[in-house]
């Protein structure tokens, strides 16, 4: 298995990988994990035999895992016999791990058609979502597994399912044959662009509706979750423009920070929400705000288009600030010059009055005090 230091070192690069590359990377790590488990079991067995050699008594010791791990591990090994045995013994085909990944997700990543068919025959949910709202169809489409895509759609997989990044399966598909199949079936089902847009915007409309109710009831819009994230953080990360606009209209600060020190602009930059970046900056978001890890929004942005836009906005902002400073300095100089001029006028007037007074006295030994 990968060492802890290796995992930490690669964290910064994983975010810049394409969806396909991330899945391939996950498969590699999974293979390492399975190999490690197998080696641990061998070592355990060898150690057990050595400790009891010659005692005349055979004892059995096995490392056991919960059923969800066992099912996913069997599916990842493409062990159809063990998968069937587990399912026949009453194990649910929809068990998932800590990331929400089911055995069906795993088989779609690995292109194990027979395993997927076995799971679906046992009643597996073709639209199960992991923690990032990826369905098995997202996985199969991303990996270009055409036969699995066909199988999942026949089993009722939702062609318009939207993941946490706002992507539908066809958005992620780069394989020409697989994409052609998906688009053909979408056309057969009468799916129009209008319906696609409606489905894609459903979550934003739901959040906007909830927010409007909060506004109408006079509720506090500055509420934060357990991670310190505000409603604006959520809107920014997802690119919910209508929600962001309403929050900013009600004077929600774009510079509030969560527990990691992230502002809404960090979230928008990280998830590549270019329109949200522009909206936040236009409403006073700090382009130089730093997180607890000393990262600015630009530092956490991996999307080149968004980075270019942020650099453009930063240059404009810096130019405006420089112009304001120059105007301020010019104004200050004018004020100082004006005060100095007024002071000279007053002094000259005083001088004139004193001289007049002395002249009136007609003192024989008078002296011009200001010569």
Q: What domains lie within the chain, and their CATH numbers? A: 16-51+62-200 (1.25.40.20), 202-311 (1.25.40.20)
pLDDT of residue 350: 73
- CA-based Rg of the chain, rounded to a whole angstrom? 34
Model confidence pTM above 0.85:
no
pLDDT of residue 126: 98
Report d(CA 125, CA 127) in Å as an integer: 5
Task: Report the half-sphere exposure of 200 (CA within 13 A, side-chain side).
Answer: 17
More confident residue, 47 or 109: 109
Cα torsion 236, 242, 248, 250 to 10°: value is -140
pLDDT at 249 over 90: yes
Contact status, residue 54 vs residue 84, Cβ threshold 8 Å: no
Helix (H, G, I), strand (E, B) or coil at 14: helix
Compute the Cα dihedral for 108, 113, 118, 121 and give only its sign: positive
Using a pLDDT cut of 90, give the percent of the chain over it: 63
Cα–Cα distance measured from residue 206 to residue 200, given in angstroms and rounded to the nearest whole number: 11
Which pLDDT value is given to residue 58?
44
CA 337-339-345 angle, to 5 degrees, is: 105
Residue 1 has pLDDT above 60, yes or no: no
Of 27-36, 45-54, 68-77, 335-344, the range with the highest mean pLDDT is 68-77
Residue 53: per-residue pLDDT: 46
Report d(CA 19, CA 37) in Å as an integer: 27
What are the C-alpha distances in Å from 71 to residues 74, 137, 146?
5, 20, 24
In angstroms, the CA 160 to CA 74 distance is: 30
DSSP for 267-332, written as a single string: HHHHTT-HHHHHHHHHTT--TT---TTS--TTTT---HHHHHHHHHHHHHHHHHHHHHHHHHHHHH
CB-based contacts of 101, cutoff 8 Å, min separation 6: 72, 130
pLDDT digits (tens, 9 = 90+) for 91-145: 999 999 989 999 999 999 999 999 999 999 999 999 999 988 999 999 999 999 9
Mean pLDDT on 57-81: 74
User: CB within 8 A of 249, min separation 6: which ones?
Assistant: none
- The mean pLDDT of 177-205, rounded to a whole number, is 95
């Amino acid at each position: 298995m990968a060492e802890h230091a290796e995992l930490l070192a690669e964290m910064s690069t994983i975010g810049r990988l394409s969806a396909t590359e991330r899945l391939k990377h996950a498969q590699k790590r999974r293979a390492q994990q399975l190999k490690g488990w197998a080696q641990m079991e061998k070592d355990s067995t060898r150690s057990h035999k050595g400790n009891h050699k010659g005692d005349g008594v055979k004892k059995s010791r096995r490392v056991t895992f919960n059923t969800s791990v066992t099912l996913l591990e069997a599916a990842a090994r493409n062990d159809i016999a063990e998968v069937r045995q587990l399912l026949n013994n009453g194990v649910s085909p929809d068990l998932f791990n800590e990331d929400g990944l089911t055995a069906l997700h795993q088989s779609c990543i690995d292109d194990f058609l027979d395993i997927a068919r076995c799971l679906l025959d046992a009643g597996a949910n073709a639209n199960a979502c992991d923690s990032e709202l990826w369905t098995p169809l997202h996985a199969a489409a991303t990996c270009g597994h055409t036969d699995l895509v066909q199988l999942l759609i026949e089993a009722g997989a939702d062609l318009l399912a939207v993941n946490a990044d706002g992507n539908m399966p066809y958005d992620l598909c780069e394989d020409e044959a697989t994409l052609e199949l998906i688009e053909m079936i979408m056309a057969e089902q009468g799916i129009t662009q209008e319906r696609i847009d409606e489905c894609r915007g459903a979550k934003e409309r739901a959040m906007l509706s909830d927010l409007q109710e909060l506004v109408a009831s006079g509720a506090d819009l500055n509420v934060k979750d357990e991670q310190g994230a505000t409603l604006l953080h959520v809107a920014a990360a997802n690119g919910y423009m209508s929600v962001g606009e309403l929050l900013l209209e009600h004077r929600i600060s774009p510079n509030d920070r969560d527990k990691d020190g992230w502002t809404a602009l960090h979230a928008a930059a990280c998830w590549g929400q270019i329109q949200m970046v522009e909206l936040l900056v236009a409403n006073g978001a700090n382009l130089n705000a730093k997180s607890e890890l000393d990262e600015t929004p630009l530092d956490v942005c991996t999307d080149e288009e968004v980075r270019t836009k942020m650099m453009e906005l930063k240059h404009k902002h810096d130019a405006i600030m420089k112009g304001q400073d120059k105007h301020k300095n010019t104004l200050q100089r004018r004020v100082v010059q004006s005060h100095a001029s007024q002071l000279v006028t007053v002094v000259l007037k005083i001088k004139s009055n004193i001289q007049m007074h002395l002249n009136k006295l007609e003192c024989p030994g008078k002296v011009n005090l200001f010569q």
